Amino acid sequence: MAEILSLLVSIFQNKLANTLLLLISFYAVLKSVVSYNKSHDNRSLVMAALFIFLAFEAWSRVYETNVKAFFEKFRILLVLFPIVIFLVYSTIEKKRHAQEKEKQVIKGAFQQYLAPSVIDELLKNPDKLKLGGEKKELTIFFSDIRGFTTLSEKLTPEQLVQLLNEYLSEMTDIVLKKNGLVDKYIGDAIMAFWGAPLDNPKHAESAAETVIEMKRKLEELQKNWKTRGMPVVNIGVGLNTGNVIVGNMGSKQRFDYTVMGDTVNLASRLEGTTKEYGVLSIVSETTYDKIKDKGFVCRELDFIKVKGKNKPIKIFELVEKEDAVSAADRKFIKIFEEGLSLYRNRKWDEASDRFVNALKMKDDLSSKNFIDRCKEYKKNPPPKDWDGSFTMTHK
């Protein structure tokens, strides 16, 4: 102990050592104030007080004066030192307040539409939410309740609101769990997307997993509603992957974080197309290409031109995850797709036989539609330059 005290005395008697100690003490005071500003831990203030004491002690040693003489010689510091400390603290506090305000704006704008983990990332990187848009590849989701008008006529307003709230709450929870962003609710419809504001290279997979979970949750809800004497609710879902403009659209006073572009429009069209094929979900070829080797089973449905578009696209039903598809379902898909290939090669009778066999395995509206098409094309063949596509006449 005596050796330690002797070492400390020798240090304080060395002018160079005291000069270094003075500089270190000033730096440590500033760091302690910054640390307190971040953590509000009183230990930081204690450390600041300690280093202020060491700074005065080192100063008196360097300038070989006692405390009284120090204040007489450097009385200007009595004014300047508190001002400097105040300005430093005020600047730090102002910056902290601005950051907190920005965080509150982000939380207020997104807490109902994003998972907490995603919001936390945005709080760390608020620059991702600048006003304006950027071009980015995303996966867009639209869902809608089938026959909502008829459904509303069967229920009282109170019952309708309760059913809608139950449905939308459960579906939204699944979107958020898969780190999607709920863009908006349009009555009973949901619009969401994956891949922004935070990057997600697996956005198509996340969206597909969301659809599968929604399908399973809907089956649970349907059983529950049935036991309560409520009508059965069915939905349609459209998924499309492609480039969009995504960002804060609007003015500085009022804006929405949303997406725009043909990719969005096509996703909406695909949701409406589910009614024509009697399936819960339809994904575009671009989405299919992203998920086909990722454990999902899809059935190719058709080659169509949606309303307002001249270029045909392949569409697929998102059936299930691979481990949840039975051998019977796989056989059904195989027979249907064989029929589809024969249909495109104008082999109407053979194609029709395949669709009839598929229909025997499952009550499938798509198979019924193709049987009707085969009969019609056998009577009135399509033109020689027919590419196998079917033109949708409505949204």
Residues near 290 by beta carbon (within 8 Å), at least 6 away in sequence: 139, 204, 205, 241
Residues near 219 by beta carbon (within 8 Å), at least 6 away in sequence: none
pLDDT in tens, 75-118: 555 555 666 666 666 666 666 665 565 555 545 555 555 556 55
| pLDDT band with cut points at 50, 70 and 90 for residue 5 | very low
**Is residue 285 exposed (0-12), middle (13-18) or buried (19+ Cβ within 10 Å)?**
middle
Helix, coil or strand: residue 304: strand
Q: By the 8 A CB rule, do 317 and 311 touch?
A: no
| Alpha-carbon distances of 192 from 20, 184, 204, 268, rounded to whole Å | 59, 7, 12, 11
Q: Name beta bridge partners: 145.
A: 235
Average pLDDT over residues 3-32: 61
Q: Are residues 308 and 161 in the same domain?
A: yes
Pick the more confident residue, 35 or 177.
177
Q: Are residues 82 and 217 in the same domain?
A: no
53, pLDDT greater than 90: no
Domain boundary among 90, 107, 124: 107
End-to-end CA distance of the chain: 88
Answer whether residue 112 is part of any domain.
no
Answer whether residue 204 is part of any domain.
yes
Question: What does the alpha-carbon distance between residue 275 and residue 293 come to, in Å, rounded to a whole number?
Answer: 27
Question: What does the alpha-carbon distance between residue 126 and residue 248 come to, in Å, rounded to a whole number?
Answer: 12
With DSSP H G I counted as helix, E B as strand and the rest as coil, what are the percentages for the chain, rounded to 5?
Answer: 60, 20, 20
Q: Are residues 264 and 338 in the same domain?
A: no
pLDDT in tens, 110-152: 555 555 655 665 666 666 556 567 899 999 999 999 988 888 8
Average pLDDT over residues 26-43: 67
Q: Are residues 175 and 280 in the same domain?
A: yes
pLDDT in tens, 301-313: 999 998 777 889 9
Q: Are residues 156 and 78 in the same domain?
A: no
> 199 lies in which domain range?
132-324
Total number of domains constituting the chain: 3
Q: By the 8 A CB rule, do 206 and 180 touch?
A: yes
Q: Are residues 309 and 394 in the same domain?
A: no
Q: Are residues 94 and 169 in the same domain?
A: no
Question: What does the alpha-carbon distance between residue 372 and residue 368 come to, in Å, rounded to a whole number?
Answer: 6
Answer whether residue 31 is part of any domain.
yes
Q: Are residues 367 and 268 in the same domain?
A: no
| pLDDT band with cut points at 50, 70 and 90 for residue 31 | confident
Q: Are residues 351 and 383 in the same domain?
A: yes
Q: Which helix (H) or strand (E) holds 191?
A: strand 189-194
Nearest one of 242, 245, 334, 331 to 285, comparing CA atoms:
242
Average pLDDT over residues 237-265: 84
Answer whether residue 275 is part of any domain.
yes
Cβ atoms within 10 Å of 153's Cβ, excluding its own: 10
Nearest one of 235, 218, 220, 212 to 296, comparing CA atoms:
212
Q: What number of H helices and E strands is found in the chain?
A: 14, 9
Cβ atoms within 10 Å of 264's Cβ, excluding its own: 22
Question: What does the alpha-carbon distance between residue 47 and residue 57 come to, in Å, rounded to a whole number?
Answer: 15
Per the prediction, the chain carries an average pLDDT of: 81
Q: Are residues 313 and 344 in the same domain?
A: no
Residue 321 phi, psi (nearest 5): -75, 150
Question: What does the alpha-carbon distance between residue 162 and residue 142 come to, in Å, rounded to a whole number?
Answer: 22
Residue 318 phi, psi (nearest 5): -85, 105
CA dihedral 301, 305, 278, 180 (to 10 degrees): 90
Answer whether residue 120 is part of any domain.
no
Q: Are residues 319 and 337 in the same domain?
A: no
Q: Are residues 229 and 300 in the same domain?
A: yes
